[in-house]
Amino acid sequence: MNESFDVTDLVAAAVDGDEAAWKDLVARFTPLVASVAHGFRLHGTDVDDVAQTVWLRLLEHLGELREPRALPMWIITTSRNECLRQVRATQRTRPYDPLADTHAGDEPLSAAPAGDPDEHLIRVARHQALLAGLAVLPDHQRELLLLLIEDPQPSYAEISRRLNIRIGSIGPTRARALERLRACPHISGMA
């Protein structure tokens, strides 16, 4: 896929039936869907079910999107709705043992994380905003930022080799990517 394609171009190409554009959209936004699902404490096949339903809904409604740049928020909202549906379905089918609540050390599956619940929600929202922002960056900028946050961080020579760019262009490309990320509505809305 041409790395100069932004989300608007990808949506338009996918609407026109471009399979590579559809695959790129799914690849870019799958981490966002998974992040939302993990925020609801879903794992394994539940996350897969949510993701499959989100992609099906997107396929059904892709041509109806009025503002393709709002796709990350559409995906977050649809993922949340599907997670809620999945949680409700799981609660309806989960066996309940009243004696299990009295055993020491048993923690209900729906227990809130330790610490301040608002802090957890803020952290999850920031993570989702970052994933949404990364998803709308051009491929080369997203790949560079992801390499720069690897632990341990690869050397500039290694980054240059992996991305096939000059070492001297890593800093300016990083600066442009961060500037674009800060301007992204998902990130700026968190400030």
pLDDT in tens, 70-115: 899 999 999 999 998 888 887 766 555 555 554 444 444 444 455 6
Task: Name the pLDDT band for 69 (thresholds 50, 70, 90).
Answer: confident
- Check: CB of residue 7 under 8 Å from CB of residue 69: yes
The average pLDDT across 110-132 equals 71
* Residue 105 Ramachandran class (φ > 0 left, ψ -120 to 50 alpha, else beta): left
Q: 162: helix, coil or strand? A: helix
- Check: CB of residue 34 under 8 Å from CB of residue 47: yes
pLDDT at residue number 60: 93
- Check: CB of residue 9 under 8 Å from CB of residue 28: no
Average confidence score pLDDT of the chain: 83
- Check: CB of residue 128 under 8 Å from CB of residue 76: yes
Structural domain boundaries in the chain? 1-94, 137-191
What is the torsional sign of CA 84, 89, 92, 94? Answer: negative
Task: Name the pLDDT band for 61 (thresholds 50, 70, 90).
Answer: very high
Task: Tell me the CATH architecture of domain 137-191.
Answer: Orthogonal Bundle (1.10)
∠ Cα 141 144 145 (to 5°): 90
CATH code that applies to domain 1-94: 1.10.1740.10
- Check: CB of residue 128 under 8 Å from CB of residue 74: no
Task: Name the pLDDT band for 187 (thresholds 50, 70, 90).
Answer: confident
pLDDT tens profile 170-185: 999 999 999 998 888 8
How far is Cα of residue 149 from the mean position of the Cα atoms in its chain? Answer: 17
